[in-house]
Each structure stands twice: as C-alpha cells, then as structure tokens.
Structure 1
C-alpha cells in the first residue's frame, strides 16, 4: 500500500507518522511519500519520520520529493494538508478583518474566504494530477476550509472525502469523562465543517443509549470551560457546539480578545520554528510534546481510520467525515457538503440518517451553506463582485459597508495568489 502526503513538510506530519507507526495493523503502509516544495522543511520532517518508523519497528519505506507527479504516481490514497501562502498568509487572514470589527480567523469569516480563494485552485490542480497518475486513488482532504475544498473536489468528480479532527476530539474527551474506551462512544454529530453540534452521545453505536444529558449534568462546567462558552448556554441548548460556534455565539467578545493579544498565527509561527529545530535533532525519534500545542489533536488516528476504511481494510464502520448531503439534511442542496456520521467503505462515505435539525441550528447551517456556494463560485471564477457577494452572505459579516471594505482588503492582501486579480 502506497500513501502520499501532499504538504509533507508540515510540522503536523510527525503526528501523522506516529499514527501510521502505532496503527500499522489497521493500515499496513508499505511506502509513504512526503511531498513538499519546501526542501529544507521536508528534509527535517522526513528525517524525523524515518526515525519514528525505525524506533517503532515499522517496516515501511519513507521517501521525500518536491515532485508532485512522482510522489502521487501509483498511490492508493493521497492526503492533502497544505497551506497556500504559509503562516504569513494566515497572519493576514487573522488581522485585517479585525479592522472592521469582524472576526479574524483562518477558516471562517473574511479570513476563511481568503484562504478558500487561495486554496481551491491549487487543490483542484493537485487533484487533476492525482487523477492522471493514479485514477483509483482516494483523496483525503485535511486542508482548510475543509467543507469548501471538499465540495470543490467532489463537484469536479474526484474520489474525495473531507476530514476534520473536531469530532474525534470530542469522542476522546467524552470517553475519558465517561471512563469508557473511545470506540464505545458514537456521536450524533451534525452540521458543516467548523459549524457542528453534538446532539447526542451514544454508547455502543448509532442505536445506543444517549448519555449526553448525563454528560452535561455531571461535566457541563468542564465542557463549557474547554469551549470558552458559559455553562448556562450549554444547559439551555442541550447540545455541545464545536469550539468554532464561539465565533458566532460570542462574536464581539472574541473580536476584543483577538485585538488584545498576539494572533494565533504568530504563536503558531513561533512554535513551528521551535519544532523544526527539534526535528533537526538526530537523536529525536518520537513526536515532541510541544506538537500537541500545534493543533490537530488525534488527526493521525482519524486519518488512519478513514484511509483504512476507504482502502477496504480495517477502520471503523462509522466515521465523521465531510461528504455530499444527498438528502441527509433536506433543507440543503444534495451537492452541499455536510459533516456527519457516515458509513465508510471502499465505495466512499454514505451519511447516516440524521434526526430533524432544530431551527436554531438549521437556520445557521442553511445560511453558511449559501455562503459556501458563493465562496466556491468566487474561488473557481474569480472577480471582485463574487467576493463581495460571498462576504455579504456570511453571517459574521452581512453589512454591505463591511463587505465592501473587506473585499478590497482581501484582494489587496492576496493578489499574488489570485490569478484573476
């Protein structure tokens, strides 16, 4: 089995490598190729990856290359984890929206749109090259904004599934609180990427007992604290929103917080410099503890589980993924991409039935889905007016004066990445 990681020079990659090494019985990788144009980073990450495999006794071969076509040739699955523009672009995404009093964040709002515009054309080019080199390969997208990127891939006819680590993070957290094994926890997870709610927490599978009321009663304070949301809000909702709902439920508070301190991008950039120094240590043969602060917790377990299921091996029968709606949420178009539990196998992901969604959540999901449609159109066809319409439609922006200003700023800050600008 050959797997290729595009963006293999990412500081995330040792987390992924550690998962491949530990879970080799689930996903028996024979060849792992790390592809990245940044030769210096690739050398450091590739060296650590080989040492991790060697220390854990993994027999697989790890190679590195800057040549995408060589890297994806003959691959069974290709994982995408790239960041067009690097941390410098992320720093901009998190900064200029604040000037209008809007959230500055890399996956939602104006910053999220900027990232989508930079990323979608690049990912589609990569996917076409994968299709030519390995037409049967699955593409697993971890590149944000996952919902929009996955929608672009599926609309273009690629064999693709989107992956996010929010759900597996909740699964692990709830399992620890309940003192059960993670595989015993099944989430009623519903919404869009970075716009989801846990409406049920079941023990044993989709038909198991819903223990969410007990979790909220016994551990609500801790759950609310982790989300940086007030406990009474969770009690009133009766569900657990993802952390990203804080950008909607506490927008103005978040804006003030973002204005006060160093950006997440600045902190991550500093962390990445330290991590890369660590990766260059020839004695290091395991992922460093600092990597846990980088983000992407449990990404490796989720990626291994998904790849194994798609390639017809092991893997859990039900997994939270980003895939086509196909009537699952009847108020959305069939070709919208939603994030829900799905049955995953060699033929792809089929969403499990979802209980009717409360209007409190359905309205926001419908609104953001409409924005994502406009955002994808802007990413595919370009043009100032399309960017403006997407910003105007986003519930975190909405006002035409803000949309006008943010459109100009987005284009100015991203001109080098926009072929039409």
Structure 2
C-alpha cells in the first residue's frame, strides 16, 4: 500500500507518521511518500519520520520528494494538508479583517474566504494529477477550509472525503469525563465543517443510550470552560457546539480579544521554528511533546481510521467525515458538503440519518451553506464582484460597507495567489 502526503514538510507530519507507525495493523503502509516544495523543511521532517518508523520497527519505506507527479504515481490514497502562502498568508488572514471589526480567523469569515480563494485552484490541480496517476486513488482532505475544498473536489468528480479533528477531539474529552473508552462513544455530530453541534452522545453505537443529558448535568462547567462559552448557554442550547461556534455566538467579544493579543499565526510560526529545531536532532525518534500544542490533536488516529476504511474496509464502521449531503439534511442542497457521522467503506462515505434539528442550528447551517456556494464560485471563477457577494453573504460580515472594504483588503493581500487579478 502506498500513501502520499501532500504538504509532507508540515510540522504536523510527525503526528501523522506516529499514527501510521503505532497503528500499522489497522493500516499496513508499505510506502509513505512525503512531498513538499520546501526542501529544507522536508529534509528535517523526513529524517524524523524515518526515525519514528525505525523506533517502532515499522517495515515501511519513507520517501521524500518535491516531485508531485512522482509522489502520487501509483498512490492508493493521497492526504492533503497543504497551506498555500504558508504562515505568512495565515497571519494576514487573521489580521486585516480586524481592521473592519470582523473576526480574523483562517477558516471562517473574510480570512477563511481568502484561504479558500488561494487553496481551491491549487488543490484541484493536485487532484487532476492524482486522477491521471491512479483514477481509483482516494483523496483525503485535511486542508482548510475543509468543507469548501471537499465540495470543490466532489463537484470535479474526484474520489474525495474531507476530514477534521474536531469530532475525534470531543469524543476523547467526553470519554475522559465519563470514564469510558473513546471507542464506546458515538457522537451525533452534525453540521458543516467548523460549524457543528453534538446533539447526542451515545454509548455503544448509533442506537445506544444517549448520555448527553448526563454529560451536561455533571460536567457542563468543564465543557463550557473548554469552549470558552458560558455554562448557561450550554444549558439553554441542550447540545454541545464546537469551539468554532464561539466566533458566531460571541463575535464582538472575540474581536476585542484578538485585537489585544498576539495572533495564533504568530504563535504557530514561533512554535514551528522551535519544532523544526527539535526535528533536526538526530537523537529524536518520537514526536515531541511540543507538537501537542501545534494543533491537529488526534489527527493521526482519525486519518488512519479513515484511510483504512476506504482502502481495506477495516477501521471503525462509523466515522465523522465531510461528504456530500445527498438528501441527508433536506433543507440543504444535495451537493452541499456536510460534516456528519457516516458509514465509511471502499465505496466511500454514506451519511447516517439525522434526526430533527433545532432551527437555531438549521438556520445558521443554511446561511453558511449559501456563503460557501458563493465562496466556491469566487474560488473557481474569480472576480471582485464574486468575492464581494461571498463576503456580503457571510453571517459574520453581512454589511455592504464592510464587504466593500474587506474585498479590497483581501485582493490586496492575496494578489500573488489570485490568477484573475
């Protein structure tokens, strides 16, 4: 089995490699190819990856290359974890929206649109090369904004599934609070990427007992503190929103915070510098503790589980993925991409039925889906007017004066990445 990681020079990669090494019985990788145009980073990450495999006696071969076509040739699955423009572009995404009083964040609002515009054309080019190399290969997208990127891939006819680590992170946290094994919990996880709610927490599979009321009754303070939302709000909602909902439920509070502290991009850039220095140590043969602060917790477990299900039919029978709606949520278009529990196997992902949802959730989902429609159109066809319409439609913006100014700033800061400018 050959797996290729596009963006293999990322500081995330040792987390992924550690998962491949530990879970080799679930996913027997024979060749792992890390491809990245940044040769210096790739050398450091590739060296540590080989040492991690050696430490855990993994027999697989790790190859590093900057040649994308060679990397995807014959690959059974290709994992996308790239960042067009690097941390410098992320820093811009998190900064200029604040000047207009809007959240500066890399996956939602104006910053999220900027990232989508930079990313979608690049990902589609990669996907076409994958299709030419092996039409049966699966593409697993971890590249943000996952919902928009996965939708672009599916609309272009690629065999693609989107992956996010929010659900698996919550599953682990809930399991610890309830003192049960994570595998015993099934989340009724529903929404769009980075716009999700846990409407149920079930023991022993999708038909099991819903222990969410017990979880909220006994641990609402801890959950609320982790989400940085008031406990009273959780009590009123009766569900657990993802931490990304804070950008919607406490927008102005978040803007005030972001204006008074260093950006996450600056923190990550500093952390990456430190991580790469650690990776350069030839004695290091395991992922360092610092990597846990980088983000992407449990990404490796989720990626291994998904790849195993798609390639071999093993792994967990139900997984939270980003996939085509296809009537699952009747208030959304069939071609919308939703993030829900699905039955996953070699034929792809089939969403499980979703029970009735509160209009508080459905209304926001419909609104953001409409934005994603316009965002994808802008990413595929370009044009200032399309960018403006996408920004105007976003629930975190919604005023024409803001949309006008944000459009100008977005284009100015991303000119080198927009072919239509």
Which residue is 1:246 aligned to?
246
**How is 1:95-106 mapped onto 2 (pairs within 5 angstroms)?**
95-106=95-106
Partner of 1:419: 419
Structure 1 runs of 4+ off > 4 angstroms?
none
Judge conservation of contact 1:5–1:80 (CA < 8 Å) in 2. yes
Deviations 1:139-169 (A, max 9, x none): 0000000000000000000000000000000
Look up the match of 2:319. 319
Mapping 1:11-410, distance limit 5 Å: 11-410=11-410
Q: Deviations over 1:209-252 (max 9, x none)?
A: 00000000100000000000000000000000000000000000
User: Aligned partners of 2:382 and 2:315: how far apart in 1?
Assistant: 39
Calculate the aligned-residue CA RMSD, in Å: 0.4
1:309-336 residue CA offsets vs partner (Å, 9 max, x unmatched): 0002421000000000000000000000
CA distance in 2 between partners of 1:17 and 1:335 (Å) = 33
Per-residue CA deviations over 1:327-373 (Å, capped at 9, x if unaligned) read 00000000000000000000000000001211011000000000000
Distance 2:183 2:394 in 1: 36
Tell me how far apart the structure 2 counterparts of residues 142 and 266 of structure 1 sit (CA, whole Å).
21
TM-fit CA distance, 1:134: 1.2
SS of equivalent residue, structure 2 residue 116: helix
8 A Cα contact 1:26 1:313, kept in partner: no
Aligned residues between the structures:
421
C-alpha contact 1:320 1:339 (8 A) present in aligned 2? yes
Question: Deviation per CA, 1:148-196, whole angstroms, max 9, x where unpaired?
Answer: 0000000000000000000000111111111111111000000000000
**How far apart, CA to CA, are the structure 1 residues paired with 2:357 and 2:28?**
39
CA distance in structure 1 between the partners assigned to 2:263 and 2:175 by the alignment: 32
CA distance in 2, matches of 1:255, 1:53: 43
Per-residue deviation, residues 244-296 of structure 1 (Å, max 9, x unmatched): 00000000000000000000000000000000000000000000000000000
Q: Secondary structure at the match of 1:103?
A: coil
Deviation track 1:74-93 (CA, whole Å, cap 9, x = no partner) reads 00000000000000000000
Q: Distance in 1 between matches of 2:333 and 2:135?
A: 28
The 2-side partners of 1:29 and 1:305 are apart by 13
What SS does the corresponding residue of 1:94 show, helix, strand or coil? helix
SS class of match (1:37): coil
Question: How far apart in 1 are the matches of 2:401 and 2:313?
Answer: 53
Specify the SS of the correspondent of 2:175.
helix
Whether contact under 8 Å (1:51, 1:286) holds in the other structure is: yes
- CA distance in structure 2 between the aligned counterparts of 1:314 and 1:410, rounded to whole angstroms: 43
SS at match of 2:259: helix
Tell me, which stretches of 5 or more residues in structure 1 are unaligned? none
2-side partners of 1:339 and 1:257: how far apart? 28
> CA-to-partner distance for each residue in 1:74-113, whole Å, 9 max, x for gaps?
0000000000000000000000000000000000000000
C-alpha contact (below 8 Å) 1:169/1:298 kept by paired residues: yes
The separation in 2 between residues aligned to 1:266 and 1:18, in whole angstroms, is 26
Equivalents in 2 of 1:311, 1:143: separation in Å? Answer: 20
> Residues of 2 paired with 1:232 and 1:156: CA distance?
44
Q: CA separation in 2, counterparts of 1:90 and 1:102? A: 16
TM-score, normalization: structure 1?
1.00
- Is contact 1:27–1:313 with CA below 8 Å preserved after alignment? no
